[in-house]
Structure 1
Amino acid sequence: MKFTAKIFLLIVSLLALGLLVAGCGGSGGEGGEEQNKAGQTSFSLATAGTGGTYYPMGGGVSSVVQDATNYEIAVETSGGSAENLRLIEAGETELAWANASEIYWAWNGEEFFKGQELKSFRVVNFGWNAIFHWAVHKGSNINSFADLKGKKVGIGPQGSGSAIFGETYFRAIGMWDKVQPMYLPPDDQATSFKDKKIDVFGYFSRVPMASLMDIAAVTDIKLLDPTIEGAQANFSQKYPFYTKTVIPKGSYSGQDQDVSMYNNPVYLVVRKDISDQVVYDLLTAIYSDKGQERLKQTNKAAEDMTLENALQGMEEMGVPLHPGAIKFFEEKGLEIPQELIEG
């Protein structure tokens, strides 16, 4: 009996020791995961379709950052701005481009994000001004948006900032139920437009847009001015993010006059749990002389992405700036609006 009792006590002691070791091992594993997360060096950057500005600018940023750091950034195509913010919220990407309107609405749970306040992202820096292009065949009888009744209108893929703008605009001017929206990315729109399967090409991009240049090289186009009907509907007053701008004459083949359009600024956003050092390093690479030069070689949109413009429009959005960005911009002498600083 005494022997049996001793064996029993030994077994209990061994089990207790095993549990203790397992517990320590488990704790160490979790600590390792946290350490790996803090030391993360591989990231994904959600962009949009390949025919707009998001994708090539994503490639430019990835190349600049990878050359200057030990970080790897995989550039991913997506549905665009709205989907990108949802991908960040779901933990499926770490970095993304997004338009001002979707950033504001997602943060506040309004409009197309009604009831879904997304709080997992933070703003990093201003990217460029994105202009919504509306184009029709020059030989068509379409001269205004009133002429689009019953027409097939390309507005970008579902979930994109372009599709959201298209629906918002047509609803504002009372035409949403009178057109046939075609949810196509720019490259697919270009093909369908050239084949005359859609009547209108519509998409956000910095000027010039690759897909529209491709179209204009083989068929005559005419740009439609949305600001006429927009002014009648007080569009800019209701949606201040969509500011009025101009596509200068000569931007596209056959364009012999300036055409007014609406603009929606683009920003780089990241998951809030990306380390301050990573964001600081990203900005250091982007705003270096070499980084600026490389980005301008990638796409003309980079002409907007200067240090002087870095905080443009952020105060109006009211979404917090990532702490790593705050540190970088303060060191560069920029004054950070209090509204952009958490805590």
Structure 2
Amino acid sequence: MKKKSFLLLTILMLALSMFLAACGGGEKEKANGGKDSGSGSDSKDAEESADLPEFVSILTGGTGGTYYPLGGAFASIISDELGIDANAESTGASAENMTTLKAGDGEIAFTQTDIASYAKEGKAMFKEKIDNIQAIGTLYPETIQIVTTAKSGIKSVEDLKGKKVSIGAPGSGTALNAEQILEVHGLTLNDIQKQDLSFDESTAGIQDGAIDAAFVTAGTPTGAVEGLSATEDVVIVPIAQDKIDELIKKYPYYIQDEVPIGVYGLEEAVPTVAVSAMLAVVDSLSEDAVYQITKAIFENLDKVTHAKAKIIDPAKAKEGTGIEIHPGAQKYYDEKGY
């Protein structure tokens, strides 16, 4: 009887020892990201990835603009480099993107610098301040293109009076650009037959004669306008130098720009203005997460096929953001000496 009791006790103690060893190993493995603790580099990798989110949504714009293809490329980079499930979403662009970030329905967003500034201050189309956004950095000039065709007969901004003109999708920053450009030419939105169409809808409307012209604020070349140029003689309406000067003086976030010769089949460059495109991010993303996302994007621009990638310069990304830079992005710029 004693022998049986001793044997049973031995078995119980052995089982308990195995259980405790298994638990200890599991906790040890868990603390090291499922890897053996003997490797210092593995411990470092686990520490670096601890603050990375599992998923990020990148808010872009319409499929015919520049935000959407760039957003898709950035999402692929983030996924490939960091293992984050990243997705680019088509949206109404800048203003809508800011309100979506405020609502917590996205993490990263493309926006115009002027619109981000208005959002932070609660001005223009924003009735309340959006205080949970910070900047990753500026990317490239967003050219204001007043698009029409040769057959429309429109040659100047003043010629838009009485015409059916799209000023962009509801929630985009293009509408405000259109209003301000019309303003310095002595016109208002009431002087045109205003249409609120996306870039794709705008160029389709021009092609089938439903509208006469459209404001398009996007990096050039813009996909929707390129599509139009395949079947129509595209005209980009110029802005006269004195009006450019007046616009920049009144609204300092504008810069002088042009639509280059050859784009859309243009035979000469067309003077206009631009704002800057930028990436904004919710301030709830950790410093480490934004640092790694910023680093991944700017150090893999060679993987982006869109023409705008060639002019994105991380050394200039802090310039003209209009809102404060996220500490994670600032860490990257400090590290690079920008």
Task: Give the drift of 1:167.
Answer: 2.1
CA shift at 1:230, angstroms?
2.6
Q: Which residue of 2 aligns with 1:204?
A: 217
Matched, 1:293 2:297: no
Contact in 1 for aligned 2:244/2:256 (Cα 8 Å)? no
Equivalent-residue separation in structure 2 for 1:284 and 1:86 (angstroms) = 26
- SS of 2:263's equivalent in the other structure is coil
Could you tell me which runs of 5 or more consecutive residues in structure 1 were left unpaired when the two chains were aligned: 1-36, 335-343
Counterpart check, 1:158 vs 2:167: no
Mapping of residues 218-257 of structure 1, within 5 Å: 218-228=231-241, 230-231=243-244, 234-253=246-265, 255-257=266-268
Aligned AA (1:150)? G
Deviations 1:144-166 (A, max 9, x none): 12111210111210110112211
Instruction: Please list, as runs of the form range in 1=range in 2, the aligned pairs for 1:26-37 lying within 5 A after superposition.
Output: none
Say if 1:214 and 1:252 are closer, same or farther in 2 by CA, change over 3 A: same
Q: Based on CA coordinates, which of the two structures has the bigger radius of gyration?
A: 2
User: Who is 1:97 aligned against?
Assistant: 110
Is residue 333 of structure 2 the alignment partner of residue 320 of structure 1? no
Matches within 5 A, 1:1-343: 39-113=52-126, 115-176=127-188, 177-228=190-241, 230-231=243-244, 234-253=246-265, 255-288=266-299, 291-295=300-304, 297=305, 299-314=306-321, 317=322, 319-334=323-338
* 2-structure distance, mates of 1:210, 1:189: 12
Q: Which amino acid aligns with 2:104?
A: G
CA distance in 2, matches of 1:58, 1:150: 36
Give % identity: 28
Residue 264 of structure 2: SS of its match in structure 1?
coil
AA of the residue aligned to 1:82: A
Per-residue CA deviations over 1:251-300 (Å, capped at 9, x if unaligned) read 112x1111011101011110001011111111221122xx12112x2x11
Distance between the aligned counterparts of 1:331 and 1:38, measured in 2? Answer: 19
1:59-112: CA deviations, max 9, x gaps? 010011111011111111111101111111111111100111111111122222
Aligned-partner Cα distance in 2 for 1:200–1:160: 17
TM-score, normalised by the number of residues in structure 1: 0.80
Could you list the runs of 5+ residues in structure 2 that have no partner in the other structure? Answer: 1-49
Task: Give the CA deviation at 1:320.
Answer: 1.4
> SS of 1:252's equivalent?
helix
2:91 aligned counterpart, secondary structure: coil
Letter in 1 for 2:316: N
1:71 and 1:235 mapped to 2: Cα distance? 42
Q: Partners in 2 of 1:292 and 1:311 — Cα distance?
A: 17
In the alignment, the residues of structure 2 paired with residue 260 and residue 39 of structure 1 have an alpha-carbon distance, to the nearest angstrom, of: 44
For the residue of structure 1 that corresponds to 2:262, the secondary structure is coil
Q: 1:228, CA displacement in angstroms?
A: 4.8
Counterpart secondary structure, 1:74: strand
Whole-Å Cα distance in 2 between the matches of residues 88 and 277 of structure 1?
19
User: Could you tell me whether the CA contact under 8 Å between 2:253 and 2:275 is conserved in 1?
Assistant: yes
Bigger Cα displacement from structure 2, 190-199 vs 305-314: 305-314
Deviation at 1:38, TM superposition (A): 5.2
Query: Deviation digits for residues 163-202 of structure 1, max 9, x if unmatched?
Result: 2211232234332221012111111111111101110022
